[in-house]
Amino acid sequence: MNTPIQEWPVADCPAHRFGLAVERWRRLASRSFWITGAGTGFGKALSVALACAGAQVFITGRRREMLQECIETACSLGADSRRIISVPADITREEQVAHACRIIHDHCSTLHGLVNNAAMPQRRSHPWPLQHESLAHWEQLFRLNVTAQWLVTSKILPHMVAGGEVRVVFLSSGAGWAFTPGVGQYNIAKAALNNLGASFAHECAAAHPEVDVQINVINPGEARTEMNQGSPRSPYTLMPMMLLLLSHPRGGPNGRFFHADGRHLSFADAEVYDRRLDGNDTIVLAPPPQRSRLASLAARLLRRSA
C-alpha cells in the first residue's frame, strides 16, 4: 500500500504517537534499543521518538557532541535523560564495537532491538566510479555500509537472543534496487545490505527456533539527513513504519522488506509480506520500489557531464 508520507510534529508525539496504537506505544516503554548513526538524521529522529515513548535507548556515533545534542532534544520533549545512554564508537573498529557491547550489557539485562542506521554516501570524485574510483574508497564505503552492520549485529545478537526477543532493522535505500550510473559502489553496498539483512534473518531463525526473531530491512526514502540536506521531508516521517516494526508482537515479519511510505517490498527470493504491520490481517500487495527522485536527478546530471 503506497500512501502519502505524513509529517508528524515531534513536539506532539505523546499525543499522536506517530500513528502507533496506544498498546504498541506502551510496549516500547518496557524495552531497550541500540541505534547506530544516532547523532543525526534518521538515527537521531528514531532515538528521540523511542526515548519519548519511554524506552531505554543506547545511542552510538563517532561524534560525542552530536550524541549529546540528541539527548538534549529528547529531554526537551519530556524524555528521561537516565533512559538515554550515549555510547560513542567507530563501528568499523572491532574493539570499539566490543566495548560498546560491554557498556550495553552493564546497563540492561536484555536488549530487545537494534537499528543499523550508520552509513556513508558515494563520493563524487568521478562520474564513472566503478571504472575509476580508488580501492581505498571502495573498502572504506563497504566497511561502514556493510561490514560494520554485520559486525555490530553479530556481536550484540547473543544479548538479544538470551532475552528471547530479537528486533533488528537495517536501513537500506532505493539504491539497493537500482543501477544508477555514478553511484555504483553505493548501489552495490545497499544491495549487499539487503541480502545481509534477509540472510541474517533466516539464519538466526533457524539457529534459534525458540526465539521471537524479527530481522527486517527498510527503505527510508529521502529526507533531511547529512547525506541529503536539501530534502523538504523530515526524518521523523520514517517513524510510523520503524515503530511498527520495533513494537511488533510475537509472530511478526522476518527477512522482509518495507518502505517508509507503507509499501511492503520484495527483494530477490523475499516475497512481499502479506499482512499489515498494525495487526490487521488484510493482505498488502505492493509494486516494486520506483526510482527515487535523487537517483533520477543524479542520472540527468551525469548525462549532462558526459
In terms of Cα–Cα distance, which of 113, 121, 123 is closest to 165? 113
Domain hosting residue 70, numbered range: 10-305
Q: Tell me the CATH number at 150.
A: 3.40.50.720
Q: Which helix (H) or strand (E) holds 257?
A: strand 257-259
Question: For position 287, what pLDDT does the model report?
Answer: 42
- Strand partners of residue 56: 32
Q: Does some domain include residue 82?
A: yes
Mean pLDDT of the 83-111 span: 97
pLDDT in tens, 19-61: 899 999 999 999 999 999 999 999 999 999 999 999 999 999 9
Alpha helices by DSSP H, 163-264: 184-207, 239-246
Report pLDDT digits (tens) over 118-174. Answer: 999 888 888 999 999 999 999 999 999 999 999 999 999 999 999 999 999 999 999
Q: How many helices (H) and strands (E) does the chain have?
A: 11, 8
Residue 92 scores a pLDDT above 60: yes
Could you tell me if residue 204 is inside a domain?
Answer: yes
Residue 175 has pLDDT above 80, yes or no: yes
Query: What are the pLDDT digits (tens) for 256-290?
Result: 999 999 999 999 999 999 999 986 533 343 444 44
Rounded to an integer, the average pLDDT of 241-250 is 96
User: What integer pLDDT is reported at residue 290 of this predicted model?
Assistant: 46
Give the pLDDT confidence score for residue 8 in this predicted structure.
77
Q: Is residue 112 part of a domain?
A: yes
The rounded distance, in Å, linking the Cα atoms of 129 and 169 is 29
| CA end-to-end span of the chain | 38
pLDDT over 90 percentage in the chain: 75
Does pLDDT of 306 surpass 80? no
Sheet order of strands, 165-171 included: 84-86, 56-60, 32-36, 113-116, 165-171, 212-219, 257-259, 264-265
Q: Taking 90 as the threshold, does the pLDDT of residue 116 lie above it? A: yes
Percent of the chain's residues with pLDDT above 70: 88
Indicate if the alpha-carbon torsion angle 280, 285, 291, 293 is positive or negative. negative
In a domain, 1, yes or no: no
Q: How confident is the model at residue 301 (pLDDT cuts 50, 70, 90)?
A: very low
Tell whether 4 is covered by a domain: no
**Residue owning grid cell 508482537:** 249
CA distance 274 to 281: 8
Domain count, the chain: 1
Inside any domain, residue 199: yes
pLDDT at 108 over 90: yes
pLDDT of residue 304 exceeding 70: no
Q: How far apart are CA 175 and CA 282, in angstroms?
A: 29
Q: Please say whether the beta carbons of 38 and 59 come within 8 A.
A: yes
Residue 5 lies in a domain: no
The answer to the question of residue 108 being in a domain is yes
Three-state DSSP class for 238? helix
Rounded mean pLDDT of the chain? 88
Mean pLDDT value of segment 191-205: 98
